């Protein structure tokens, strides 16, 4: 009986040896390719020429990109793995309308803040879309909605 059991174990172990390995399915972040023009990025510190810079926010190949419309020296490129949390700020506590700001925090503690150009006129479509997009492609990254005033 022991020999038969050993034979069964050996046969079972060898049964999968010739089977091909399953191909891993790429994550949503790996397949994501999206950009938003007309986004404002808040500058840190004293900003004599204006606190908000206009440019394009993009996500492709698991990398976050910010391209400043006028000064390439202000561009930002970060791997998605550096993002540890993100949030949106809305006038409505439930986040149903008036979400004027989206931001994220990185592993090194930096916070990057963005608004849609025209946010002061009530525009919030891009901000809402960006929050939903990042929540979908980075499901393990904590996301929250906060109530606030501009």
Q: What is the pLDDT of residues 47-63, one digit of tens each?
A: 566 789 999 999 999 99
In a domain, 14, yes or no: no
Q: Which domain holds residue 40?
A: 28-147
Considering the entire predicted model, what is its pTM?
A: 0.77
pLDDT higher than 60, residue 6: no
**Backbone angles phi and psi of 111, in degrees to 5:** -120, 130
85, 112, 118, 97: CA torsion to nearest 10? 20
Sequence length of the chain is 150
What tens digit of pLDDT does each residue of 96-132 get?
Answer: 668 899 999 999 999 999 999 988 887 788 998 999 9
Number of domains observed in the structure of the chain: 1
Domain contains 17:
no
Residue 77 lies in a domain: yes
Given a cut of 50, is residue 8 above it in pLDDT? no
- Of the two residues 120 and 22, the one the predictor is more confident about is 120
């Amino acid at each position: 009986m022991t020999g038969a059991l050993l034979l069964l174990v050996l046969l079972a172990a060898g049964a999968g040896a010739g089977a091909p390995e399953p191909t891993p399915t790429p994550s949503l972040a790996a397949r994501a390719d999206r950009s938003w023009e007309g986004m404002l990025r808040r500058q840190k510190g004293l900003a004599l020429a204006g606190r908000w810079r206009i440019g394009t926010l993009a996500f492709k190949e698991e990398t976050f990109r910010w391209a400043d419309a006028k000064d390439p020296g202000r561009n930002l490129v970060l791997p998605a793995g550096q993002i540890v949390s993100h949030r949106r700020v809305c006038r409505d506590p439930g986040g149903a309308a008036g979400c004027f700001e989206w931001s994220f925090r990185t592993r090194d503690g930096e916070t990057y803040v963005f608004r849609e150009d025209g946010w002061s006129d009530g525009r919030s479509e891009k901000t809402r879309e960006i929050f939903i997009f990042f929540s979908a492609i980075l499901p393990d990254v904590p996301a929250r909605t906060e109530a606030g005033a501009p």
